[in-house]
Every structure is written in structure tokens, then in C-alpha cells.
Amino acid sequence: MTSHDVRDMLDLPDTATSRPVKKQKLAAPRPVLKGLAREVQNLSGDNPIAIVPEVSVFKKRRFASRKPAAKWELTPFKNSARTDDTLVLKHWRRKAELAPAPVGEDGHMEDAGVKPKPEIEDSTFAKYNVRVTVPDYTDEEYNSRLQNQDWTKDETTYLINLVQEYDLRWPIIWDRYEYKPPLPTMNGDAAEGAIMVPPKVRSMEDMKERYFKVAAMMMAIRKPPIKMNSAEFNLHEVMMNFNPAQEANRKKFAENAFHRTKEEAREEESLLLELKRILARSEKLNTERRELYALLEAPPSTGNIGAYTTSQGLQQLLQQLMTVDKSKKRKSIMGTEGISPATGPSNQNQPAQFERRESSVRESISGPSGSTNKKGAQNPTERRQLTEEEERMYGVSHHERLGTNGPAFRHERISKPLLSKSAVQQGKITSVLNELEIPTRLIMPTAEVGEAYDALLQSINVLLESRKLADKLAGELALARSVKAERERMAKPEQGEASNDAGGGGADSEIEREEREKSAAPSIRGGSVHKRSASVLSSVSDKSTKRQKK
């Protein structure tokens, strides 16, 4: 029975293609279906039977994808993190694929293949070997900087070795700390050693304090704090500021908290809850109170309501309100127009702010300038404020002098006090300077020289002021004296003879007085003295300036 027959039975149109189909089948044989009768197969016609599992495909794929098994070999390796490099251990590693060296890439492959053979590979884990670095010191350094009443050098070294051995794990260092002082030697120290008390029981805080002190000190000696980077500096600060007493207190407190009984723990918990509740409630109360205050502070109506008690008055009030309303409406219309010019400047402002900020950024890039600090204060959110420590570390200094006028050249600043004075004053100052042999224009105006110069100018000012005062006083004195002389002359005719003696005595007393005045307020005559004192006055600053100049 063929499909043709079945078609015939079912009155299906007999297709003319049945013959060629058969030929095709022969040309491309269908997969051999075992277990099915040929007749059953033929029933299906052109359509293959759906239930046939395609087992053979699996098999084929499996064999097709089969590769030679990966080769593993026992390769020796060593670990460079070890102190001795003789230990060679073996582990299994995939054999490098270069064993069956292809002929084409021979030269290249052989290089790679030959190299690892003689030298044993290093463990990939050697890089994880990290040790702490502990301070080391020489005898000299110890004696000069690290002496301590409580610690001998031997014990300090023992501590430091222990720290290194246990990688700064303090609980273990404390646990294993068993310092035995070295046995007394034969010489004179023996007596001292013999008396020595058995080793003290060191608390962890003691050890930490000693170690941190030594470490910080050595750190500072090796590298001055100014040159440290931020991490190093922080470490140094932390170690310097270690407070053993505080640490011990903290531990005591923690221990007390640790040994609470159940009741205490529960009580504390309930108290904490209570506190939380109180806080929440007080917050609520505060907001309510604030609202209440806001209500109370509303502007009270002070007007007299007596005017509105009559109907006429009410009418008036209504009209008033209406007019107010109208004007308000108009205002609101006006308002929308009025806003636009207001927004204008605000819009203009923003780019201005932008510019300023950008310029400040540029300034900060170009170099340290005081103005950045000022601007930073303006918008603190944008620029991180340096803490005091950081400022010290980075050497940031603040210049108040730049606060108002912005940056200026130093020589300008130096010459400013001179130029601001009148020509007469200038002349006087320059003459003083000439006398001190200081040029008006500084040769090397460094900051220090500038400061000294400033001080000098100030003292010159003081000097000139006092001279002015002295001149004035001297003038007054001369006037008074002339008045007196006039009076005496008037009195002369009355006491003709006695005048000579009195005049002589007066002259003497005058000289005496003058001498006294010289010291107090230098007169014109005491110019040389005054000059000397002026030079003494400025000598300190003078010296410093000269030193700086050199």
C-alpha cells in the first residue's frame, strides 16, 4: 500500500508530482527510522512522521565537539614572600598549550617555551605579603630624643619588635607582652640591675602611648611635618595626640556598660525610649507654640471702631474698602508689568556671578591669592573650607591687607605711605632715611624686608611727630621766656641794682632747665642728641632690614 493508494481511497486528487517526489526521496534518503514498518512510513507520504526522535544528532554532535582532554601538569613554584627561597612546592596547572609546538611559529614559541623551564615561577600570592613598617632608631637618636623615665631602651626595642611581629594588633601584643629585663652584666651596672624591680605590668595604653610617641618622633625626624603628605600628617597628628588617660577612661566606661545587669539594661532602654518620646513631643510642642506666637504677633487693629457703629459710617467703610480693592486690582495689573524690569537685573546678575566665580577659579589656578579666600567665603557651598590643620599643612596664610583693595605689588605698598604724605613730609622722611643710609626704593623688597621697612617708616613718623611737638613746645617756651624778659625789663627800673644778679642767676637756672628739658622733649638745640636717639630708635628695625637685604 502506498500513499497513492490511500489518496485514491480518500478521493484525494492524485497529484502528478508523486513520481518525482519519490525520486527525490531516493536522491536524499530520509533518516533511517528503525522500529517502524515500511508500510507505516509510507503512510505519511511526503510529510515525515513527527514522533520519530532524532537520536543520531546527539551522538554526532558529541563526537564532533570532542577535543583532546586538557593536559595538566605538576609544576613547581616558589614564593618570593618567604625569607628562604629554597622551598619549592608543586601544584597542578593547566599545561601551557605550547607543548606541541607548531612549526609555523617555531621561533616565537620556543622563546616562550624555553624561558619558564629553568626559572621556577613565583607564587601569584606573594604580592599579598604586606608587613607593617615600624620606626627604627640608632642609639644616638634614642639618647637624644626618645629618652623616657619609665622605659628603658631595651624594653622599647622589645615593644617595637613585638609590634612588628604582630602587625600592630594591640590586643595580641598586650596578650603576649612578656618583657624580661636583660640579665645584669658583670660590670658596675650589675648592682643597679640586681636591684631592678621585676618587670612592670604594662597596660595596653602604656604600650600604645610609648609606641606612638616613638613612632611620631621618628616620623618627624625622618621627615619634617611640613613636608608630609596629608595621610602622613594625619597619622602624625593622631599619634602625637594619643591620650592614654582618656583611652583608659573610655575602656572603663565601656566595661561598666558591659557589666550591666538585665534590669539596668532594661531600665536604660526604657529611659532611652522615654527620651525619644519627650524629644518628639517637645518638637511638636515647639511648632505649636511658634504658630501660636505667629498668631499673637499679627498686627492688631488699632483704629477706632466707633466711627463705624452707625449705618452711615458702615457705608463709608464699604466705599473705602471698594476703592482700596480697585486700586489693588490696578496695582496687580501694574504689578505684572513692574516685575519684568525687576527680573531683568536678576537675570543680569547671574552671569555676573558666573563670571566672578570663573575668574576666582582662574585665580586659584594661577597661584595662591588672598582674594580666593574672600570669594570662597561668599559662596561657601562651592568651595571646601580648609580646616585649621589643613591650612597649616598646606602653608595657607591669610592676608587681611588685601581684603579691601585686592592684590597689589609690594613695592607699591611700600612706597605708598611715603607718597601719600605732603611734599614737605616726604622731604623730611627721605632726609631721615638718607641719614640712616637706607634707599627710598628698597633693593630687594621681600615680605620681611617690607614689614621691617614699614615699621621703620612708622617709627620715623613717630619721630617726626615728636619733633614737631618738641618744636612747638620750644616755641612756646621761647615766647614765655620773652614775655618774662619783658616783664623783668618793666620791673628793672624799680630794682636797678639787684637786676644784674638776678639776671645772672636766672640765666643759670635757665640753662639748668634747658638741660632738663633736653632729655624730656628735645629742643632745636638738642638736635644732635635727638638725632642720636632717633637712630637708636630705628636701629633695631634698621639692623633687621639690613640683614634681610643681605
Partner 1 sequence: MASQTIASSMQPTDVYGGDEVSAIILDPGYSSVRAGFAGEDTPKSFVNSHYGVADGRSVFGDDAIHNPLAGLEIRNPMSKEGIVEDWDTATQLWEYAITSRLTSFKQSDPRTNGLNDDSKDIDIEMEGVDEGEKALEEHPLLMTETAWNTTKNRERSIEIAMESWGCPAFWLARNSVLAAFGAGKATALVVDVGASTTSVISIHDGLILKKSIQKSPLAGNWLSSQLRSLFSTTEPKVDLIPHYLISSKTPVDAGAPAQAVYRKYENNIPESFRALEEERVLTEFKESVVQVWTGPGRLGSANPAGTTNIDYVKAQPGRVFEFPDGANQMWGVDRMNVAEGMWDEKAALPVPGEPPVTKAQTIPEMVRASIGAVDMDLRAALLQNIVVTGGTSLVNGFTDRLHNELTAMYPGARIKIQAAGLTAERRFGSWIGGSILGSLGTFHQMWISRKEYEEFGANVVEKRCK
Interacting residues with partner 1 (CB under 8 A): 79-84, 86-97, 122-129, 165-166, 169-172, 174-176, 204, 251, 254-255, 257-262, 264-265
Residue with smaller CB distance to partner 1, 264 or 283:
264
Q: Is 456 exposed, middle or buried (0-12, 13-18, 19+ CB in 10 A)?
A: buried
Residue with smaller CB distance to partner 1, 82 or 481:
82
HEC string of 147-214? CCCCCCHHHHHHHHHHHHHCCCCHHHHHHHCCCCCCCCCCCCHHHHHHHCCCCCCCCHHHHHHHHHHH
CB < 8 Å & 24+ apart, contacts of 205-208: 205/244, 205/245, 205/247, 205/248, 206/150, 206/244, 207/159, 207/170, 207/173, 207/174, 207/177, 208/170, 208/242, 208/244, 208/247
Contact indicator for 533, 523 with CB cutoff of 8 Å: no
In whole angstroms, the minimum distance from the beta carbon of 134 to partner 1 comes to 17
Q: Are strands 121-122 and 72-78 parallel, antiparallel or unpaired?
A: parallel
In whole angstroms, the minimum distance from the beta carbon of 247 to partner 1 comes to 10
In whole angstroms, the minimum distance from the beta carbon of 117 to partner 1 comes to 14
Residue with smaller CB distance to partner 1, 177 or 233:
177
In whole angstroms, the minimum distance from the beta carbon of 254 to partner 1 comes to 5
Residue with smaller CB distance to partner 1, 115 or 227:
115
Rounded to the nearest 10 degrees, how much is the dihedral formed by the CA atoms of 230, 234, 236, 242? 180
Residue with smaller CB distance to partner 1, 255 or 337:
255
Contact indicator for 121, 115 with CB cutoff of 8 Å: no
Residue with smaller CB distance to partner 1, 257 or 491:
257
Which ranges in 367-497 belong to alpha helices (H)? 370-378, 388-394, 402-405, 410-419, 423-436, 447-491
Q: Is 151 exposed, middle or buried (0-12, 13-18, 19+ CB in 10 A)?
A: buried
Q: How far apart are CA 111 and CA 370, in angstroms?
A: 63
Residue with smaller CB distance to partner 1, 205 or 542:
205
In whole angstroms, the minimum distance from the beta carbon of 177 to partner 1 comes to 10
In whole angstroms, the minimum distance from the beta carbon of 74 to partner 1 comes to 9
In whole angstroms, the minimum distance from the beta carbon of 101 to partner 1 comes to 15
Rg (Cα) of the chain, in Å, rounded? 52
As given in the structure block, the three cell numbers for residue 179 are 618583657
Contact indicator for 236, 216 with CB cutoff of 8 Å: yes
Residue with smaller CB distance to partner 1, 269 or 448:
269
What single letter denotes the amino acid at residue 289? R
In whole angstroms, the minimum distance from the beta carbon of 68 to partner 1 comes to 15
How is 459-498 classified by DSSP, letter by letter? Answer: HHHHHHHHHHHHHHHHHHHHHHHHHHHHHHHHHTTTTTTH
CB < 8 Å & 24+ apart, contacts of 357-366: 357/382
Residue with smaller CB distance to partner 1, 90 or 281:
90
In whole angstroms, the minimum distance from the beta carbon of 195 to partner 1 comes to 29
Q: Which residues contact 525 (CB under 8 A, 6 or more apart)?
A: 514, 518
As given in the structure block, the three cell numbers for residue 223 are 621627615
Q: How far apart are CA 414 and CA 411, in angstroms?
A: 5
As given in the structure block, the three cell numbers for residue 168 are 600592630
Residue with smaller CB distance to partner 1, 160 or 414:
160
In whole angstroms, the minimum distance from the beta carbon of 92 to partner 1 comes to 7
In whole angstroms, the minimum distance from the beta carbon of 277 to partner 1 comes to 22
Residue with smaller CB distance to partner 1, 112 or 307:
112
Q: Which residues contact 88 (CB under 8 A, 6 or more apart)?
A: 76, 77, 78, 120
In whole angstroms, the minimum distance from the beta carbon of 258 to partner 1 comes to 6
Residue with smaller CB distance to partner 1, 122 or 517:
122
